[in-house]
Amino acid sequence: MTRLTLSGVSFWYPAAERPALTDVSLAVAPGEVVALVGGVGAGASTLLLAAAGLAPRVVGGRLTGNVERTVASAIVLPTPWTQVSGMAFTVRDEVAFGPANLGWPIERIWPAVGRAMERLEVGALAERDPATLSGGELQRVILAGALAMEPGLLLLDEPTAELDSSGTQAFWRLVRTLAREDRASVVVATSDIDAVAAFADRVVWLEQGRVRGAGPPAEVLVDEAFLREGPGGPMVVLAWRAAGCAGPLPLTVADAAARWVRP
């Protein structure tokens, strides 16, 4: 049973001649983490909007092919300050914005809100006014707001853009936890290829709105074509090749360390 199925999806923005997506097919299973990688304009953000049912419904434009979701989804966009509801005057109410809009009974809302805030470590900010938060704090609050709605399908567009490196690491671990414990399906567009190597189950390489390659990170990220024409390989791979090391390319530091032959 898949959570999200795109079959032969093409999408045109309003007043645009060229499609932003061309004939994209993708199926995401429960508990699976799929990373979308590609350069600027590759179509990853558009794919997420189509998957969320927001393109063309809210964005406008035209979609052909078929998009099917079997669970509730939530999308988080790259700029946190445009995603603050503006209707909440504390962080706790901001996180509760989505569940309240869904009309959940209050006794279901607060536990879900508390759990989401704990997972993103924003409990200490609960009484703060969202307008006074830093970019990184705000991004975690927005992510908590999405998690509080307990979506079975989480769509994330550059979710770590505002986070520092320890926040980024914690975030990727959280994605794995969500997939494992909650069986949440996660589709994430990111330029953090190193994180993709370590945390994704599957990689979809997009180029000019088309799927150029798809498969486990160990296949896609070390593929010759990807390293040559893709958005850049994992640091470890680049270092391994630059050093002239032989054998199969490692994906992560742990991988490389295990294969490293001491001189």
Partner 1 sequence: MRRLHPFTLLALAAALPLLAWILPAPRGALAPALAAATLAAAAGPRRVLLPALLTAAPLWFFLFILHGVGGMLVFGVRLTAMIASFVWLVAVLPPARLVEAMVAAGWGAPSAYLFAATLSAVPLLQQRARRIVEAQRCRGLSPRGSPLARLRALRALALPLVLSALHEVDERALALETRGLGAGHRRTPLAPPPDSALQQAARLALLLACGLALAWRLR
Partner 2 sequence: MSIRLLALIPVAVAINLALSAAVDATGLPLFLDTVGTILASALAGPVVGIGTGALTSLTNSLRNPTFLPFVAVQVIVALYAWGAARAGLFRNLRAAVPTGLGLGVIASATSTPISYHMFGCSTTGGIALATALGKSLGFSPLGACFFGSFVSDFGDKAVSFALVATVLHALPRRTAARFPLALRAIGLRGIG
Give the integer Cα–Cα distance in Å for 68 and 185.
Answer: 14
- Region of 28 on the Ramachandran plot (φ > 0 left; ψ -120 to 50 alpha; else beta): beta
- 96 close to 117: Cβ distance less than 8 angstroms: no
Q: Find which of partner 1, partner 2, none residue 121 binds, CB within 5 to 8 Å per kind.
A: none
Question: Encoding tokens for residue 74?
Answer: 């939530």
Strand 33-37 and strand 185-189: pairing?
parallel
State which of residues 43, 145, 217, 250 lies at the interface with partner 1 (CB under 8 A). Answer: 145
- 91 close to 122: Cβ distance less than 8 angstroms: yes
Q: Would you call 42 helix, strand, or coil by DSSP?
A: coil
Q: Which is nearer to partner 1, 158 or 255 (CB)?
A: 158
Q: Does 21 bind partner 1 (CB under 8 A)?
A: no
With tokens 């391994």, the residue in question is: 240
Q: How far is the CB of 113 from partner 1 (least distance, A)?
A: 9
- 32 close to 201: Cβ distance less than 8 angstroms: yes
Q: Which is nearer to partner 2, 72 or 87 (CB)?
A: 87
**Footprint on residues 3-22 left by partner 2 (CB under 8 A):** 13-16
Q: Find which of partner 1, partner 2, none residue 35 binds, CB within 5 to 8 Å per kind.
A: none
Q: Find which of partner 2, partner 1, none residue 75 binds, CB within 5 to 8 Å per kind.
A: partner 1
| Residues in contact with partner 1 by the rule CB under 8 A | 49, 52, 54, 57-59, 73-75, 77, 79, 82-90, 93, 96-106, 109, 131, 145-146, 149
| Residues in contact with partner 2 by the rule CB under 8 A | 13-16, 58-60, 86
